[in-house]
Amino acid sequence: MTETRASLPPFQALLDEHAQAVHAFLRGMVGPDDAEDCLQETFLAALRAYPRAEPANLRAWIFTIARRKAIDHHRAATARPVPVADPGELAPAEASDAPPIDGRGSALWSAVAGLPPKQRAAVVLRFAVDMRYREIADAMGTTEEAARRNVHEALRKLRASAHELKEAMR
């Protein structure tokens, strides 16, 4: 008995349809400097796995790969040895490391970059990529309730940070 399976669209169609949104997601996850490399790694991994992909939800599938590549990027960054300089030579961390999605709101994206990885991913998928909670859940491999909770907790933390900043400026 042969099983009929819906056919996959050409890989280029998948790339054309989702590359911009995946790139925005990766900018929010790893920053603007490393987003392009992660994007290439995402689509190379997707191309290798494409013949085995399920055509039902390719958007969630590609975002799952992108999320995993962002996690791999962060793991690799923490595993790299960092040369230690004289403490007087060290420059403070700059807010320019923030991943502004559209060139605006770098302070906001700096705060988003400071969120725990799951919350950061949920916020970026929700607001930079404009995904629904069901799609976020699929992309993150979790439940819709967990996706909502991650966004809610992230927004709560961002509001608290903004309130603390506002109070400090008084």
Burial 95-128 (b: 16+ CB within 10 A, else e): eeebbbbeeeebebbbbbbebeebbbbbbbbbbb
Nearest residue to 124 (alpha-carbon basis) of 18, 5, 26: 26
Report the pLDDT value the prediction gives residue 162, as an integer from 0 to 100: 78
Nearest residue to 128 (alpha-carbon basis) of 78, 66, 41: 66
Q: Token digits for 23? A: 């790139």
As a whole number, the mean pLDDT across the chain is 80
Which residues, including other chains, have CB under 8 Å from residue 136's CB and lie 6 or more apart?
122, 125, 126, 144, 147, 150, 151
Predicted TM-score (pTM) of this structure: 0.63
Share of the chain above pLDDT 70, in %: 77
Report the pLDDT value the prediction gives residue 112, as an integer from 0 to 100: 84
Query: Where are the domains positioned within the chain?
Result: 11-80+106-169
Confidence of residue 97 (pLDDT cuts 50, 70, 90): very low
- Contact in structure between 95 and 124 (CB atoms under 8 Å): no
Report the pLDDT value the prediction gives residue 95, as an integer from 0 to 100: 39
- Contact in structure between 32 and 97 (CB atoms under 8 Å): no
The CATH code for residues 11-80+106-169 is 1.20.140
- Contact in structure between 119 and 153 (CB atoms under 8 Å): yes
Confidence of residue 138 (pLDDT cuts 50, 70, 90): confident
Half-sphere exposure of 152 (CA within 13 A, CB side): 7
Report the C-alpha gap between 146 and 118 in whole angstroms.
10
